[in-house]
Amino acid sequence: MTGSRREAFSAFTFLVEIDGDQENAAYFKSVSGLKSEAEAVSVQEGGINEFEHKLIGRTKYPNLVFKRGLASAKGWAQRLRFMGSGGGAIQRFNGTITQLGPGGKPVKTWQFVKGWVCKWEGPDYDASKNEISIETIEIAHEGLK
pLDDT in tens, 67-81: 887 766 665 666 666
Q: Which residues sit opposite 119 in a β-bridge?
A: 138
> Residue 54 pLDDT more than 90?
yes
pLDDT digits (tens, 9 = 90+) for 112-141: 999 988 888 888 888 898 888 888 889 999
Rounded CA-CA distance 92/144 in Å is 15
> Residue 6 pLDDT more than 80?
no
> Higher confidence at residue 27 or residue 116?
116
Q: What is the largest CA-CA distance in the chain?
A: 68
Task: Assess contact for 42 and 84: CB atoms under 8 A.
Answer: no
Give the torsion sign (CA, 85, 144, 136, 119). Answer: positive
How many Å is the Cα radius of gyration of the chain? 20
Q: Is residue 43 very low, low, confident or very high in pLDDT (cuts 50, 70, 90)?
A: very high
Q: Which domains, and CATH codes, for the chain?
A: 14-140 (2.30.110.20)
